[in-house]
Amino acid sequence: MKNKIFAVAKTNCRNIKLSYIITAIIMGAAFAQDAVMFILAATGVYRMPAGNMTTSFGNYFFVLLIHSAVYIPLLNFRRMTNLGAKRSDFNKGCFLAYAVMAAAISLLSLILYHTYDRYAISVFLRSGTMDVIYWFRWIENGAAVAFFQLFAFLFLLAVFIHTLVSAQDKWYGWVADVIIVAIISVFTPIAPLRAALVWFFNLIIFNQYAFLQITACLVLAAALFPLNKVILARKAI
């Protein structure tokens, strides 16, 4: 059983070439832009304006996770089930694949934040970077805790997108879309409902207690596991 789950997770991580290509193109374009700015700044041709901000290079890896969470349920499900994979193994393998990707991206983001981003700020940009771990103030808890906070959030994000995409070929998938849009449009202008929405985002993102934020994200992701089992059980091959 475990071997099958690991096989599904491994196949999912390998069979997302389009996700890798899109991420590589975006990161390549961002790096080329940085390289040009660095050269111009170093030669004195161009002077970076005060307060200039740039997106953290590590955050571009989020594109890989988000695109994979869309690509896997849309295409990999039919491919694997047609090859004999059980729906339950596919479900567990997807969660494992997202956990591995979330952990790898979290680690890479932290490494780049403390190396490439710091170098860019100190030598050329002289301002700051728009980085998730900085803006959500996770880095204030230390690198180790920030890793788990970013991991938990990315894992929940991937599982949520995967669940929503998996349900799109059924009526309840469209109902979920309508509910999400309604929550955003209705809750925002009404003060009590807006407060509930703010409370939720404070719980999973801006919580001042790292342990609660990590726990909330992981519990919500785990709660989506049985829901995915029901969706996959009714999903056509």
Q: Tens of pLDDT along 97-155? A: 999 999 999 999 999 888 888 777 666 555 566 788 888 989 999 999 999 999 999 99
Read off the amino acid at residue 56: S
CB-based contact 81:87 (threshold 8 Å) = yes
CB-based contact 15:76 (threshold 8 Å) = yes
pTM as predicted: 0.89
User: Rounded to a whole number, what is the largest CA-CA distance in the chain?
Assistant: 62
Where the chain has pLDDT below 70, the residues are 1-2, 41, 44-53, 83, 121-129, 236-237
pLDDT in tens, 158-169: 999 999 998 887
Q: Which of 103, 107, 102, 129 is nearest to 116 (CA)?
A: 129
